[in-house]
Structure 1
Amino acid sequence: MREAYHVELEQLADHLAAMSVQVADAMERATRALLEVDLSLAEQVISDDAKVDDARAQCEEQAYALLALQAPVATDLRTVLAAIHAAESLERMGDLALHVAKAARRRHPEPVLPDSVRPYFAEMGEVAVKLARQTEQVIHSKDVEAAKTIESEDDQVDDIHRHLFTVIMDRDWPHGVAAAVDVTLLGRFYERYSDHAVSVAKRMIFVVTGKMPGYGSDEDL
């Protein structure tokens, strides 16, 4: 019975890892849609979001079934609880990629971003997707040090996000209020996406150590 239970736990981890791939692909495509003014890519992200929602529902259903099969103890219980919370964070990552894609679609055929800020979003997109792909690996490996690396690399996105405020608040900002609002919202989407990747990594640390690392800025996510 215990062996079968652990097989089920491994399958749950596989489903979470697959969600990480989905949301990484979504943000990668959404960023390209944003930077390249590509409507077809934006539409693909928007239509694929339902698959991420379905994946979360499947993970939660499997997790609750595991809780009902028998009373899990210690690491097994932590694994199931972490999976429920991780699936929620991964779904939110998919939603944030969706928001980026919708912004690209809303402004099409005009670009959303002024040329002066495009490099910042290219970099944030690259780092955010990298974090999501690292999350997939950490879900499989339960490597605590690799999980901590995700948190430290998230600082890069936070730094760019803060810098964007100085750019749009500059008195010489020439692009108007609408562009400033777009840049502010989009920067927040990338920052929150990366914070959710950190949240998933912290759940994996909890599985291994039994201790939840401090949340800091992502307590209110």
Structure 2
Amino acid sequence: MERLSGELAQMCAASETAMSDATEALLDVSLAAAERAIGSTDELDRAAAEWERSAFSLLALQSPVAYDLRFVVGGLRVVADVQRMGGLAVHVAKITRLRHPDHVVPEVVRDLFTRMGEVADRQAAESVETLRQLDPERAEALLHGDEAMDELHAELLATAQSEEWRYGVQAAVDLTLLGRFYERFCDHTVEIGRRVIWIETGVAPS
């Protein structure tokens, strides 16, 4: 199970890298970074499938106790969260690729997306360590770590919907989608925290 825990952490690290590449693509209009983010999901999907096979083998070959069952069930849900995180990074990268060579992010909201990328990286990195250690205290901190993203997302929407917005409807739609992708990315890190707490304590946080 220690190996399986480490593999969960590795998959989460891959999704962190994908979102970091996607943010680089978005801010720097980098097709190379966009392609790295988009291409990362194949390996992530393969790792997820292998993890599921190993987890089911663990159940089949051993006499599972309550913790083992919680680990496998919770781990399968973590795998799904991590895959969705990678998928959200791909969505960000594909918008960048679609609009290339134009900038998706107007200068007025560039700082917002820089900070959103930093929050996403921080939450994902903390998720990696939480999974590696299966530490319920670190997991508890994850439950509140996305509040900064929620504030940034609200600020982004307010900016795109304000009367001073002068970048057109398409840009507003793109930014609304992008903001949602970053918000959902962090939502999945919160879910990872909840699942680790349940695995380790048997109690789902309220």
What is the TM-score with the length of structure 1 in the denominator? 0.90
- Which of 47, 54, 59 matches 1:55? 47
Q: Which deviates further from its counterpart, 53-62 or 88-97? A: 53-62
What's 1:33 paired with? 25
Q: Which residue of 2 aligns with 1:127?
A: 119
Q: Distance in 2 between matches of 1:148 and 1:120?
A: 26
Note the alpha carbon deviations across 1:151-210, whole angstroms, 9 max, x for none. Answer: 211100011111211111111210110000000000000000000011111111011110
What corresponds to 2:192 in structure 1?
Answer: 200
Which of 50, 67, 80 is the aligned partner of 1:75?
67
How many residues matched?
206
Cross-structure match for 1:5: none
Distance 2:3 2:138 in 1: 21
Map of 2:183 onto structure 1: 191
Percent same amino acid among aligned pairs?
A: 43
Report the CA distance between 1:74 and its aligned residue: 1.7
Deviations 1:33-68 (A, max 9, x none): 100011111011111211111111111111122222
Does the 8 Å CA contact 2:145/2:190 hold for their aligned counterparts?
Answer: no
Q: Is the aligned partner of 1:166 residue 2:154?
A: no
In the alignment, which residue of structure 2 is the partner of 1:175?
167
Tell me the equivalent position of 1:217. Answer: none
Distance in 2 (alpha carbons) for counterparts of 1:88 and 1:168: 31
Counterpart residue identity of residue 184, structure 2: R
Aligned to 2:145, the other structure's residue is in SS state: helix
**2:202 counterpart letter in structure 1:** G
Indicate the residue corresponding to 1:149 in structure 2.
141
Cα distance, 1:107 vs structure 2: 0.6
Counterpart CA distance in 1 for 2:63 and 2:179 is 43
SS in 1 for 2:97: helix
1:65 aligned residue? 57
Larger mean CA deviation between 189-198 and 62-71 belongs to: 62-71
Q: Which amino acid aligns with 1:25?
A: T
| Unaligned ranges ≥5, structure 2 | none
The answer on whether the counterparts of 2:22 and 2:93 sit within 8 Å (CA) in structure 1 is yes
Structure 1: distance between partners of 2:56 and 2:64: 11
- AA matched with 1:165: L
Letter in 2 for 1:38: S
Give the root-mean-square deviation of aligned CA atoms.
Answer: 1.0
Q: Which residue of 1 aligns with 2:201?
A: 209
Runs of 4 or more off by more than 2 Å in structure 1? Answer: none
Pairwise mapping of residues 69-148 of structure 1 onto structure 2 (< 5 A)? Answer: 69-148=61-140
In structure 1, distance between residues paired with 2:151 and 2:51: 33
Instruction: Note if contact 2:197-2:204 (Cα within 8 Å) is conserved in structure 1.
Output: yes
2:159–2:165 CA contact under 8 A, matched in 1 = yes
